[in-house]
Amino acid sequence: MKADACFDLPTVEPCLPGDTICLGRSPAKHPFFCMYSRLFSDLHVSLPFDNFTMGVLQALNIASSQLHPNTWASLQAFRLICDVFCLSPTPSSFLSYYTSYPSELVSCHSLISWVGNVLFNSFTTSYKNFKEKFFKVFIQAYFFYEAGQSRFPVFWTWNPLKFKEWPRPTPSPEEREIFSLFESS
């Protein structure tokens, strides 16, 4: 199925008592992933994810539930600013402003801004207890490539990408506009 083709909306369902956010592959009839409820109420994350969001999750090799709300907020803000200026954000243009050192002891993955190159301030006190409520998102064909591979890790991964500096190969003309926009402010 093409990424821009029509799609069925994913369905959501509450998790069962005893379910954990880091659910692995299960014998469920339909594939699903878990999401924190607060991402939708506080940050207006919506389903289905767009190509940009799925591309960032794929590049970081993490499930959507592994991304910390502060990073979700930055992702949302980056996309919104690009939308206002009629630019299409790319995972590379977003990730080039961050560094990533996931710890094995931390359950949520945060991207860290470069010193002197902070795009957005973190919500340091806003996200207490966000891990308490989550639900299952049963995914449709839109979340898969034609060959059947998911467009981002839907299950918890134990090897998120670590990088000190995201490589900036020759950017596309649109990425140059994005860099110019964010670096001029």
* Residue 176 three-state SS: helix
Residues ≥6 apart with Cβ < 8 Å to 99: 111, 112, 113, 114, 163, 164, 165, 166
For the chain, the domains span: 11-109+133-183
User: Rounded distance, CA 2 to CA 14, Å?
Assistant: 29
pLDDT-above-70 percentage for the chain: 74
Residue 3 pLDDT > 50: no
Position 116 scores a pLDDT of: 64
| Banded pLDDT at 91 (limits 50, 70, 90) | very high
Pick the more confident residue, 156 or 83. 83
Give CA angle at 110 (183, 158), nearest 5°: 135
Mean pLDDT of the chain: 79
Position 84 scores a pLDDT of: 94
Pick the more confident residue, 158 or 75. 75
Position 89 scores a pLDDT of: 95
Residue 6 pLDDT > 70: no
DSSP secondary-structure letter at 93?
H
Q: Give the C-alpha distances (Å, rounded to integers) separating 120 from 81, 158, 166, 169.
A: 12, 27, 18, 24
Per-residue pLDDT tens digits for 143-153: 777 777 888 88
Q: Which of 4-13, 51-60, 137-146, 158-167 has the lowest mean pLDDT?
A: 4-13
Residue 156 pLDDT > 70: yes
User: Rounded distance, CA 3 to CA 150, Å?
Assistant: 12
Most distant CA pair in the chain, distance: 50
